[in-house]
Structure 1
Amino acid sequence: MRGGLGLLSTVSPPPAPAPPPLLCFSRLRLRLHSLFYSDILKVKSRKSVWTVRTRAVTTMASDQENVGHVKQQLAKLFETSLRATVPEELDVEPLVAACTAKFGDYQCNNAMSLWPRIKGKKTEFRGPPAVGQALMKNLPSSEMVEACSVAGPGFVNVTLSKNWIAKIIQKMLIDGIETWAPRLSIQRVVVDFSSPNIAKEMHVGHLRSTIIGDTLARMLEFSNVEVLRRNHVGDWGTQFGMLIEFLFEKFPDWESASGTAIGDLQAFYKASKQKFDEDPVFKERAQKAVVRLQGGEPRYRSAWAQICDISRREFDGVYQRLEVSLEEKGESFYNPYIPGVLEKLSNLGLVEESEGARVIFVEGYERPVIVVKKDGGYNYASTDLAALWYRLNIEKAEWIIYVTDVGQSEHFQMFFKAAKRAGWLPDDDKAYPRASHVGFGLVLGEDGKRFRTRSTEVVRLADLLDEAKARSKAALVERGKDKEWSEEELDKIAKAVGYGAVKYADLKNNRTTNYTFNFDQMLNDKGNTAVYLLYAHARICSIIRKSGKDIEELKKTGSIALNHPDERALGLHLLQFAETVEEACTNLLPNVLCEYLYNLSENFTKFYSNCQVVGSAEETSRLLLCEATAIVMRKCFHLLGIVPVHKL
């Protein structure tokens, strides 16, 4: 899990730890951080550096029009209508939303909220329905709108032109799915996710943070945002004194063993912890070792680096299997900044003495944020404040997103309030720069308790992935699929399906809730599962292959017509891709994209059941619609971190 315990302090600020071999930043650069961090902290406070912005996440410049974003295009039309209908109400923004098919495709819902504001001022209106009628009348003509109507208390219903829908889909086939990407108004975001503790194996508890964080990063990157993927590992705490002394005791020649002395790091950790708990003399040595490590003694730093390196290699193996990329900046990276950051907070009058500790009081909580413990050591909050300061001032991030379990919600609420008191973050949670905690629930076993092995041990993430792949492979063999592929192909497909099933089973749930881990359910080829969706995509690819047509040539010479109701329904759903990704990004909810993907598959199934493709008079059009569906599905899979399968 993210973060670790604090460490003992010395009189002078600790130097920056020597960087482990696999850190992405060079030794020289990290050394410069150590030498100059106190000078860097002289930068003006965030309050003076940043101009607070309250713009919406999705505001775009007019020259960045996204023709694949239906809601955005309609909003522009209704903005013109609003200016013509109520020119004096300049702060009114269009309220456009998709609606159920019996009313239309989209709806403008401004009339009801406008009515109280203009009642008595605009005598030509006698109620919300009249406002709705005026909004419809003042709507500019557009090729995208086929029909409009007003219903109930002024809802303006819009039916899109099927020809326009077809045109936009066809344009995407030529120009690429990237032309449908949302364009967010922010440039740089930090996503802090995964963050295991050094010397401990990654287990199922790290699964959610890793794949939720990766999906959020992928969606933001697709939306033209620079994402700094940060792995805030617990690599600097009291446990390292214990581990280092145990290493010295058990392996006197550890330095000449090239990192092979420790072997199984998890077993090594358990043995050292047992000795720490049972041997007072060893415990005292371990506590002194922390001070020596912090003081920069080369032998202790070297042992620390070796332990970190072994742990990091194990982490990297899991990340490679999940196809997740991260840049490590652990607790040790921010440790040199803590004294200067606390000094700045003290100069602002925010840090107070309380029962021997140094704390920051925040509104709404009796218990303060402890930034220096009674023994003079730093803690989780100290590191997080230093990391936030660095991310805002040095990395210039506009949005910092922390992906951890919901159990840490209170910590982040208090931590964010402390940052607001310092002027680093605006009071308005919708303004920028912004910090958000993306909390998630527990992974449960079928007994309704925290997911564990039969021996009550936590489930190793590597073991879980092994089992997912093995079960997937067994299912493919049982269906006779192994006869169609080489052993290498079978292994590759089993991996894609197995890992994809694990990811999707997690991501399809609202992240704030607990979910039950069940291999049988997640590997089912029916229902809302990755297996079903991967099969649906493979079936589309098969339809195109069996047609014998060159789909790339058809994109250049063919055209799409949406004359059948199921063709139109599928086309409309395809066009809602951009706004779905935008919603998932804005609300930090990957399950929104999962729901869209599942509904897309359902829409395609209905279309294919009722509309003959190969051999029909509409073959070219329908093959292009199949291709468009496959392209959007593949992009959804990519954003969810799932590898698509083209043949099953």
Structure 2
Amino acid sequence: TKKTLPQRENDIEQLEAKLKSLESSADQTDKKIQKQEKKLKSDIAERKSDVRSMQEKLTELEQNEDLHSKAVAFPDIARQARDETANLHAGDAENLALWNQFLPACLEAIQNVYDRLDIHFDMSLGESYYHPMLADVVESLKQKGLAKESQGAICVFIDGFKAPFIVQKQDGAFTYATTDLATIKYRAEELKADRVLYVVDSRQSEHFQLLFATVNEWGFQNLELQHVSFGSVLGKDGKPLKTRAGDNVGLESLLDESIQRAYAIIAENDDAKPEGPELSEDRRQEIAKIIGLGGIKYADLKHNRDSDYMFDWDKMLANRGDTATYMQYAYARVCGIFRKGEIDRVTLRENQSALKLQDETERALALQINRYSETLESVAIEAR
């Protein structure tokens, strides 16, 4: 970390110089320029936050005698980690045995998060599935004249890009780029895919530009590839959301806190009822989960996915405004109207009689609901 800090600081200086040049020479009324400037400012802020976090950790390390002594005793630990990764890629028996030991626990932990969010996959192939294909990918790129050796690594150089697309490192280890290329080849040839979407952080945009350009040169011009980028989640201070210790906020801890906050609101409202609480403890927990998880999902999806947005617990769980809680509250009230009117919703849906829209607001609502399928089609096409 200490070795990479100067380079990270230099990267920030270069980005700041680029932003200054853009601000002084470009047309500030041009929306594309405005978007570029906004992206640069966000990138600079995030990188500065990362540097501050690194500096704080270095200070903590130097002040912690035990950690500092270990860092001094094992100065090459980062290189050793890279060497072990290369050994794993090369099929080293000991590394493979360890990998097979760790994998089930990792998959179980990931599945727990998917289950909490009610996320399901029709088909799932891990990165390791493509590992046997990686050497052939590099060889194919060489044969087509796309990949060549550069400073001991195997790289693809694309016109218009300063950085090379590294497909095999000096130590022989493959990269994410190699795996991405293997997955594209598999999806095109085996799955017969005609469109592939990559839902990944906008900071990886250059990687995907290089990937797509390489794929096009490689011979998969008929496959539509799209980077569905998204911005960063910011704290109330306008900086990337971090824990008090300066680390990235984990998704599970975010879900836990959202449910806890929702539970506190539910319990307070239920306890304040004139005739006493109405909800059992199990029911409180159930509703808290629905509101807490729904609040996070909706807060994330309602924004333009390309834009950064500020994460605010109070706004996210508010029962007024553009929030999941407000929609859930409105839905509960509608269900209450049906119950009081003794109207069976299933029977109502199956009723083929014509609707009588006598009020202008009824007509406006019906027209909006009628656009639902149109909206879904638009989302599928534009991925937003």
**Which bracket does the TM-score occupy, shorter chain normalised?**
0.7 to 0.9
- Count matched residues: 314
Question: 2:248 aligned with 1:452, yes or no?
Answer: no
Asked if the contact 1:277–1:283 (Cα under 8 Å) also holds between the matched residues in 2, the reply is no
Task: Give the 3 Å change call, closer, same or farther, for CA 273–518 of structure 1 in structure 2.
Answer: farther
| Cα shift readout 1:152-210 (whole Å, capped 9, x = no counterpart) | xxxxxxxxxxxxxxxxxxxxxxxxxxxxxxxxxxxxxxxxxxxxxxxxxxxxx9xxxxx
- CA–CA distance in 1 between the matches of 2:69 and 2:187? 38
Compute the displacement of 1:386 (Å).
Answer: 1.1
Partner of 1:624: none
Asked if the contact 2:292–2:317 (Cα under 8 Å) also holds between the matched residues in 1, the reply is yes
Residues 435-584 of structure 1 mapped to structure 2, 5 A cutoff: 435-480=225-270, 483-554=277-348, 555-556=350-351, 558-584=353-379
| Cα shift readout 1:408-454 (whole Å, capped 9, x = no counterpart) | 0011011101111112124xxxxxx2111011111111111111111
Partner of 1:296: 91
Partner of 1:368: 164
Asked if the contact 1:440–1:511 (Cα under 8 Å) also holds between the matched residues in 2, the reply is yes
- CA–CA distance in 2 between the matches of 1:274 and 1:395? 52
Asked if the contact 2:197–2:226 (Cα under 8 Å) also holds between the matched residues in 1, the reply is yes
Identity %: 38
| Cα shift readout 1:353-403 (whole Å, capped 9, x = no counterpart) | 334332222232133222222333321211111111111111222211111
- CA–CA distance in 1 between the matches of 2:314 and 2:242? 17
TM-score, normalised on structure 1? 0.45
SS at match of 1:483: coil
Asked if the contact 1:276–1:283 (Cα under 8 Å) also holds between the matched residues in 2, the reply is no
Specify the code of the residue in structure 1 equivalent to 2:299: A
SS at match of 2:351: helix
Specify the code of the residue in structure 2 equivalent to 1:490: R
TM-score, normalised on structure 2? 0.75
Aligned Cα RMSD in Å? 2.7
Compute the displacement of 1:337 (Å).
Answer: 0.6
Query: Unaligned regions of 5+ residues in structure 2, if any?
Result: 1-45, 47-65
SS at match of 2:196: strand
Match 1:341 to one of 133, 137, 155: 137
Task: Give the 3 Å change call, closer, same or farther, for CA 452–394 of structure 1 in structure 2.
Answer: same
Query: Unaligned regions of 5+ residues in structure 1, if any?
Result: 1-204, 206-270, 427-432, 590-648
SS at match of 2:149: strand
Compute the displacement of 1:325 (Å).
Answer: 2.2
- CA–CA distance in 2 between the matches of 1:353 and 1:470? 54
Question: 2:111 aligned with 1:321, yes or no?
Answer: no
Residues 248-263 of structure 1 mapped to structure 2, 5 A cutoff: none
Match 1:377 to one of 152, 158, 173: 173
Task: Give the 3 Å change call, closer, same or farther, for CA 464–418 of structure 1 in structure 2.
Answer: same
- CA–CA distance in 2 between the matches of 1:376 and 1:581? 45
SS at match of 1:386: helix
Task: Give the 3 Å change call, closer, same or farther, for CA 522–274 of structure 1 in structure 2.
Answer: farther
Task: Give the 3 Å change call, closer, same or farther, for CA 287–380 of structure 1 in structure 2.
Answer: closer
- CA–CA distance in 2 between the matches of 1:284 and 1:436? 34
Asked if the contact 2:296–2:316 (Cα under 8 Å) also holds between the matched residues in 1, the reply is yes
Asked if the contact 1:371–1:379 (Cα under 8 Å) also holds between the matched residues in 2, the reply is yes
- CA–CA distance in 1 between the matches of 2:372 and 2:69? 53
Compute the displacement of 1:488 (Å).
Answer: 1.6
- Structure number having the greater helix percentage: 2
| Cα shift readout 1:280-321 (whole Å, capped 9, x = no counterpart) | 576776565445534434443221122222222222221111
- CA–CA distance in 2 between the matches of 1:379 and 1:331? 11
Task: Give the 3 Å change call, closer, same or farther, for CA 472–425 of structure 1 in structure 2.
Answer: same
Task: Give the 3 Å change call, closer, same or farther, for CA 378–557 of structure 1 in structure 2.
Answer: closer
